[in-house]
Amino acid sequence: MMRTCAKTPRAFTLVELLVTLGIIGILVALLLPAVQSAREAARATQCKNNLVQISLATQLFHDVNGAYPPARYQPRPGDPAQYACGGEETTWLVRILSFLERQSARDAWDFGAKYSQHSDAVRTTAPSIYWCPTRRSSATAVGAGMMLTTTITYITLPCGCRVPTKGQGTALVSGAVGDYGGNHGDLSPGSFGLPTDFYYGGNGTGVIISSRANCDGARPVDWIDRVTTASVLDGLSNTLLSGEMHVPLGKLGQSPGDNFIFNGDFVFNMTRVGGPTVPIASDPRAEGNALVAWGSWHPLVCQFAFCDGSVRAVRTTIDTEVLGNLSNREDGHGIPDAD
């Protein structure tokens, strides 16, 4: 009688196991960049959609009010007393909230009162549509900064921009921060500490600009420097409306790198400029012109909404002359290629 023996299953050798693990590691390494790229593409698409909605809300505001919203109230030195009030109120991003289906959030703001006079709950409430998902989440959507005094000082940035700021007080406050700003224009009006400088009311060459106020005593009640679609002489498709503001890596929630978007006391809290000496930030870590430049955390591009409602990804290497043309609503220069 013949006897049969059951064969013992052959196990992996150590070498075979190491080879298998190595192959799996190589496959993961090959797939990971594709997964990360797909995730970034989805985030960039959401960012683009945010700008589409902001653009639509701004246009609806224009249709109802006959002009684009003012970036903020800001008096011009030397103007008559009836235009001399304001400068510390809220911003255009509050004015368009009702057109983003956030009417209750808009109603909580008093446009004639100082930003600092509003409660923490009001100052820190902002829709997620104001955040780029590549850059931040709800965890980094509120920042901290010092309450400002009314003492005006000037700082000179690497771009040569001499911009006003204010001395700091002692109270630490919270406020909503965000990623999208309005196009205030280029630097052609000047940046020398003169009444003609771009950051004073009515001097901006962009679309969302600082405006002087009509005053009831010391209280602003309306804005007077109105930019309309008819004012955009270079064409709606050739002029920036809004875009991604540069915030340096590592500065989220920290003033002055990441500022309160609803605080109108400083022009770069909610707007940006572009042109010669102020390129789009190509390095997310750059801090030199952080307060004034456009920029994103998307690779190689920064996304913008144009006045015609389109949203385009513009390369960070765009010629600064062309960027200045896109920023100025009426300089008379054509745009050969915004990409």
Residue 93 lies in a domain: yes
Length of the chain: 339
- Three-state secondary structure of 324-337: HHHHCCCCCCCCCC
Q: What is the pLDDT of residue 2?
A: 52
Query: Are 244 and 296 contacting, i.e. CB atoms less than 8 angstroms apart?
Result: yes
Of 128, 124, 122, the C-alpha closest to 110 is 122
Residue 12 lies in a domain: no
Q: What is the pLDDT of residue 148?
A: 55
Tell me the pLDDT of the chain averaged across its residues.
Answer: 88
User: Which tens digits make up the pLDDT trace of 230-276?
Assistant: 999 999 999 999 999 999 998 898 877 888 999 998 899 999 999 99
Domain interval for residue 161:
31-327
The secondary structure of the chain in percent helix, strand, coil, rounded to multiples of 5, reads 30, 25, 50
CA dist., res. 226 & res. 113, Å (int): 21
Q: What is the pLDDT of residue 164?
A: 66
Q: What is the pLDDT of residue 260?
A: 93
Classify burial at 337, counting beta carbons within 10 Å of its beta carbon; exposed 0-12, middle 13-18, buried 19 or more: exposed
Residue 7 lies in a domain: no
Residue 112 lies in a domain: yes
Of 104, 204, 133, 124, the C-alpha closest to 163 is 204
Helix (H, G, I), strand (E, B), or coil: what is residue 86?
A: coil
CA dist., res. 133 & res. 138, Å (int): 10
In the predicted structure, residue 298 carries a pLDDT above the cut 80: yes
CA dist., res. 291 & res. 100, Å (int): 26
Residue 14 lies in a domain: no
CA dist., res. 146 & res. 104, Å (int): 27
Residue 3 lies in a domain: no
CA distances from 68 to 18, 58, 63, 131, 234 (A): 65, 7, 9, 22, 16
In the predicted structure, residue 58 carries a pLDDT above the cut 80: yes
AA identity, residue 24: I
Q: How confident is the model at residue 24 (pLDDT cuts 50, 70, 90)?
A: confident
Query: What is the Cα gyration radius of the chain?
Result: 25
Residue 298 lies in a domain: yes
B/e letters for 141-162, b = 16+ CB within 10 Å, e = fewer, are bbbebeebeeeeeeeebebebb
CA dist., res. 316 & res. 157, Å (int): 20
CA dist., res. 47 & res. 312, Å (int): 11
Of 261, 48, 305, 273, the C-alpha closest to 183 is 273
CA dist., res. 272 & res. 289, Å (int): 11
In the predicted structure, residue 60 carries a pLDDT above the cut 70: yes
Classify burial at 36, counting beta carbons within 10 Å of its beta carbon; exposed 0-12, middle 13-18, buried 19 or more: exposed
pTM: 0.86
Q: By mean pLDDT, which of 7-21, 57-71, 136-150, 168-182 is the weakest?
A: 7-21
Residue 109 lies in a domain: yes
Cα distance from N-terminal residue to C-terminal residue, the chain:
86
Average pLDDT over residues 117-139: 93
User: Which tens digits make up the pLDDT trace of 218-230?
Assistant: 999 999 999 999 9
In the chain, which residue ranges form alpha helices assigned H by DSSP?
14-65, 92-95, 103-107, 120-123, 320-327
In the predicted structure, residue 336 carries a pLDDT above the cut 70: no
CA dist., res. 122 & res. 77, Å (int): 31
Helix (H, G, I), strand (E, B), or coil: what is residue 55?
A: helix
What is the count of structural domains for the chain? 1
Identify the DSSP state of 280: P
Q: What is the pLDDT of residue 159?
A: 75
